[in-house]
Amino acid sequence: MDENNYDNNNDNDDNNNNTNNYQLNNNISKNSFSYAHLADLHLGSWRDSSLRKLSTAAFDLAIHTCISKKYDFVLFAGDIFNTALPAIDIVNHIAKKLQELKQAKIPLYVIPGSHDFSPTGRSMIDVLESAGLLINVCKGTVNPDTKQLELKYTIDPKTGSKITGMLGRRGMLDRSYYENLARTPLENETGYRIFMFHTTLTELKPKHLEMLDSHAASFLPKNQNYYPGGHIHHKSIIELEGYGPMSYTGPLFPNNFSELEKYSHGGFYQITVNRKDENQFTQQIEWLPLKVKEHLAFQINCTNKSKEQIHEEFNHLLSSKDSRENIVTLRLSGSIQNLQLKDLEISKFTDLANQKEVYALLLNTQKIQRDEFEGISLSMDSNPEETEIALIKEHLTTTDKTKSEYEFQLTKSLLSTLNTTKKEGEKSYDFQSRIIESCKVLFSDNAPIKNIE
379 found inside a domain: no
pLDDT at 175: 83
Compute the C-alpha angle 123/126/128, nearest 5°: 110
pTM of the model: 0.77
Domain coverage including residue 403 = 396-451
Residue 58 and residue 197 share a domain: yes
Rounded Cα distance, 273 and 29, in Å: 11
Least confident span in 10-24, 164-178, 226-240, 391-405: 10-24
pLDDT in tens, 48-80: 889 999 999 999 999 999 999 999 999 999 999
Residue 241 and residue 110 share a domain: yes
Residue 428 and residue 337 share a domain: no
pLDDT at 120: 63
Single out the residue of 136, 93, 134, 94 nearest to residue 112, CA to CA.
136
Q: Of 46 and 431, which is predicted with more confidence?
A: 46
Q: Residue 88: which residues within 8 A CB-CB, separation 6 or more?
A: 423, 424
Residue 285 and residue 305 share a domain: no
360 found inside a domain: yes
Rounded Cα distance, 264 and 107, in Å: 29
Count of structural domains within the chain: 3
Rounded Cα distance, 53 and 61, in Å: 12
What mean pLDDT do residues 375-402 have? Answer: 62
Residue burial 204-237, b: 16+ Cβ < 10 Å; e: rest:
bbbeebebbbbbebebbbbbbbbbbbbbbbbbbb
pLDDT in tens, 144-157: 999 999 999 999 99
335 found inside a domain: yes
pLDDT at 409: 79
Coil/strand/helix, residue 74: strand
Rounded Cα distance, 127 and 41, in Å: 18
Q: Of 20 and 231, which is predicted with more confidence?
A: 231
Does the structure show a pLDDT above 90 at 35?
yes
111 found inside a domain: yes
Residue 135 and residue 277 share a domain: yes
pLDDT band at 411 (very low <50, low <70, confident <90, very high): confident
Residue 316 and residue 259 share a domain: no
Q: Residue 369: which residues within 8 A CB-CB, separation 6 or more?
A: 333, 334, 335, 336, 375
219 found inside a domain: yes
Residue 285 and residue 299 share a domain: no
Rounded Cα distance, 269 and 278, in Å: 26
66 found inside a domain: yes
pLDDT in tens, 188-237: 998 899 999 999 999 998 888 888 888 889 999 999 999 999 999 999 99
pLDDT band at 398 (very low <50, low <70, confident <90, very high): low
378 found inside a domain: no
Least confident span in 32-46, 141-155, 226-240, 417-431: 417-431
pLDDT at 446: 59
The number of beta carbons lying within 10 Å of the beta carbon of residue 437 is: 12
DSSP for 169-185, written as a single string: -GGGTTHHHHHTB--HH
pLDDT at 4: 32
Does the structure show a pLDDT above 60 at 278?
no
DSSP 422: P
Single out the residue of 129, 140, 134 nearest to residue 164, CA to CA.
140
pLDDT in tens, 355-370: 999 999 999 988 888 6
pLDDT at 168: 82
The number of beta carbons lying within 10 Å of the beta carbon of residue 291 is: 12
Inter-residue contact 199 to 168 (CB < 8 Å): yes
